[in-house]
Structure 1
Amino acid sequence: MKQGSRTIRYDEQLHLEAYSFEGVAQSFPQHFHAYYVWGYAAQGERLLTCCGKQLTLAAGETVLFNPGDDHGCVQSSEAALHYLALNVPPETMARLAQELTGSEQLPRFAPAVVSDREAAYYLRSLHALIMNGAQAFAKEEALLLLASLLLERYGAASCPAAAASDTAVEKACAYMQEQFAQRLTLENICRAAGLSKSSLLRSFTRAKGVTPYRYLQTVRVSRAQKLLESGETPATAALLTGFADQSHFTNTFTNFIGLTPGSYREMFLKAGREYE
C-alpha cells in the first residue's frame, strides 16, 4: 500500500506542531491525544468515529479534537487523504485562552467536524506560515485569528470583542511608522498601544481594514519604495526597512507592487538617465 508523504514541523515560537499527510490511504484506529488537534481535509473522504459518534469528514471540512477525545478513521473514497493539522498542547491553549478570553480555563470545542470556509482558510494560512518558516509576528497573528474564531464559534464560551479606543489604534500605527526598521513583535506594538494582543488585533483590523502585520508590511514596502526610487540597492533597502532577509523582502515587495525591487529601482534609474 502506498504510504504517501508526511511532513512534521515543531514551531518553537508558537509552541505547537504542524504536520501534513498527502496521498495517505491508511486507516487510523481509535486513539486519543493529550493535546488539541485542529485539522483540515484538503482531499479525500473519511469515515470518522469520535467519542462514540459516527461522522463523515469530507474534503474542505475541519476537525476539532479536544484532549482525550477518542477518534479513528478509515478511507471512504478513492482519493487518498491530504490532511493538514495543528497539534496544540494544553499549555499553549491556556495562554491563547488567557489572551482571548481573560481566563486560562481550557475550552472544549464542538462539534468534532465543521464545514466553515473561514476557519479552514485561517487554518491553512497558519499551517503554510509554519511550514514555510515565516516570521514570528505573522505566525502569532495568524494563530490568534484562528484561535479567536474557533473559540467564538465552537468553544464552550463565546469570546466577546474587547473595546478599544481609536487613540490606542493610532498609537499602534505611530509606533510602527517610527520603529518599522526594527525587529518588531506583536507584544512590542501592544505595549505601545496599551492593549492586549487580542484587543489590538480585533480593534486594529476593524479600524484599519488590515491586520497589524499587514499594516507593518505596507509601511516597510512604502519606505523601501522611497529608498529604491533614490537609487539604493535592493539589499540596502531590505536592511533599512526591517525585512528579515533579501528573499522575504523580494517576495513581499513583489506581492505588493507587482514588480521585483530590482525592476522597480531600474524604472527610476532609467527615468533619471532620460532626463540627464
Structure 2
Amino acid sequence: MQKEVRTVCYDDDLQLEAYRFEGIAQPFPNHFHDYYVIGFIEAGTRCLSCKNKEYTVAQGNILLFNPSDNHSCVQCDGGTLDYRGLNIPKETMLLLAEEITGQRVPIGFSENVIKNEELSHYLHSLHQSIMDGSKEFEKEEMLLLLISLLIEQYGQPSGNCIPEYSEEIENACAFMSEHFAEHITLETLCKCSGLSKSTLLRAFTKSKGVTPYRYLQIIRISKAKELLEKGAAPADAAVQTGFSDQSHFSNFFHMFIGLSPAAYRRIFKEGGKNHG
C-alpha cells in the first residue's frame, strides 16, 4: 500500500491554508467547516455525500464547499486518495469578493462537485506555488483569477432559505459557540431553544445537516485549531475547548482535520510547511 503523506502549509501573504494528502484511505465522517474549501482530486475514487446529495468523485473533479456545507466521504475503489486543497477563511474570501466584484458581500458556490479544465489549471498552479513557498505576486494573480472564474461561473449570494424553527436553532448554536468549553447537555440546549428533545434533534439536523452534538464537536475543533495556531500545547487546547481528555480530543481532531493536533501545531510553530 502506498505510504500516507500529509503536507500542510499556511500562506501568510494570501491568508489561507494549502494542503496535500497522498495515499490516504481514511474516511471522513459527516462534518462541516467554518471556512471555504476548494479541493482537487489527483487520483482515487470517493463516495461523497454533501447536503443530502450523493456523488462519486474521481480524478479531475473539483470540490467546492461553502462554510457550513455538511459533507462526508469514503474511498469506494479499494485504493487510496491523492488530493490537494485550499482552506480559505470567510474574511479572506470576503476581501477577495470585494476586490473582484466591488461589493463586500459574502458569496456562495452553487455547485459542490464540478469538472473544469481552466479552473483546474489555476488551482493546480496556485497550490503548487504555495507549497513551493513562492514569494512572487504571481500566486496572488492566480488566486484572483481562480476566484473570479468561480464567482462568474458558480457564484451566488450566500444564504439559504429560512428553515423551520430557525430562531430556536440559532439560539442553540449561539449557546454552543459561547459555552463550548463547558459541559453541555441536550437538556440545556432544549432550555435555551425552547424546543423538546425530539423536535430540536429533527429540526437542528434538517437545518444544519449535522446533529447538535456533532455541531458542538466541530466548534470545539475549530477553536482548538485557533489555539494550536497560537502555539498552545495539544493538552492545553483539549482542556480549553471542553474535551474530556486528550485522547478524545486527538481522535476527533484527526477524524475531522486529517492530522494530529501536534502535527497541525507544527505548521505554525515552524512557520511554514509540515509533513505528517
Report how far residue 26 of structure 1 moved: 1.0
Aligned to 1:15: 15
Aligned to 2:55: 55
Report how far residue 78 of structure 1 moved: 3.1
Aligned to 1:86: 86
Aligned to 2:141: 141
Q: 1:97 & 1:52 partners in 2: Cα distance?
A: 28
Report how far residue 36 of structure 1 moved: 0.2
Measured against aligned partners, the alpha-carbon deviations of 1:61-106 in whole angstroms (never above 9, x if no partner) come to 1000000000010001133100000000000000000010011111
% same residue:
50
Aligned to 1:28: 28
Q: 1:118 & 1:89 partners in 2: Cα distance?
A: 23
Aligned to 2:154: 154
Three-state SS of the structure 2 residue aligned to 1:111 is coil
Q: 1:99 & 1:115 partners in 2: Cα distance?
A: 25
Q: 1:2 & 1:138 partners in 2: Cα distance?
A: 33
Report how far residue 136 of structure 1 moved: 3.9
Aligned to 1:118: 118
Report how far residue 135 of structure 1 moved: 1.8
Bigger Rg over Cα: 1
Three-state SS of the structure 1 residue aligned to 2:134 is coil
Paired residues for 1:58-207 under 5 Å: 58-156=58-156
Aligned to 2:4: 4
Q: 2:125 & 2:31 partners in 1: Cα distance?
A: 27
Q: 2:151 & 2:86 partners in 1: Cα distance?
A: 16
Three-state SS of the structure 2 residue aligned to 1:108 is strand
Q: 1:154 & 1:79 partners in 2: Cα distance?
A: 31
Which fold has the larger relative contact order, with Cα–Cα distance below 8 Å and residues 6 or more apart in sequence? 2
Q: 1:145 & 1:74 partners in 2: Cα distance?
A: 31
Q: 1:118 & 1:138 partners in 2: Cα distance?
A: 17
Decide whether the 8 Å contact of 1:3 with 1:25 is kept in 2: no
Report how far residue 3 of structure 1 moved: 6.4
Q: 1:138 & 1:111 partners in 2: Cα distance?
A: 27
Aligned partner of 1:35: which letter? Y
Decide whether the 8 Å contact of 1:21 with 1:81 is kept in 2: yes
Three-state SS of the structure 1 residue aligned to 2:85 is strand
Q: 1:84 & 1:42 partners in 2: Cα distance?
A: 7
Aligned partner of 1:45: which letter? T
Three-state SS of the structure 1 residue aligned to 2:156 is coil
Aligned to 2:251: none
Q: 1:110 & 1:46 partners in 2: Cα distance?
A: 21
Report how far residue 2 of structure 1 moved: 6.8
Decide whether the 8 Å contact of 1:43 with 1:79 is kept in 2: no
Q: 1:134 & 1:46 partners in 2: Cα distance?
A: 31
Measured against aligned partners, the alpha-carbon deviations of 1:162-193 in whole angstroms (never above 9, x if no partner) come to xxxxxxxxxxxxxxxxxxxxxxxxxxxxxxxx
**Runs of 5+ in structure 1 lacking a partner?**
158-276
Q: 2:57 & 2:32 partners in 1: Cα distance?
A: 17
| 41-50 vs 102-111, greater mean Cα deviation | 102-111
Report how far residue 58 of structure 1 moved: 1.2
Structure 1 runs of 4+ aligned residues shifted over 4 Å read none
The TM-score with structure 1 as length reference comes to: 0.55
The TM-score with structure 2 as length reference comes to: 0.55
Aligned partner of 1:80: which letter? T
Three-state SS of the structure 1 residue aligned to 2:83 is strand
Decide whether the 8 Å contact of 1:2 with 1:25 is kept in 2: no
Q: 1:109 & 1:122 partners in 2: Cα distance?
A: 17
Three-state SS of the structure 2 residue aligned to 1:156 is strand
Q: 1:78 & 1:36 partners in 2: Cα distance?
A: 29
Three-state SS of the structure 2 residue aligned to 1:41 is strand
Report how far residue 39 of structure 1 moved: 0.1
Matched, 1:38 2:70: no
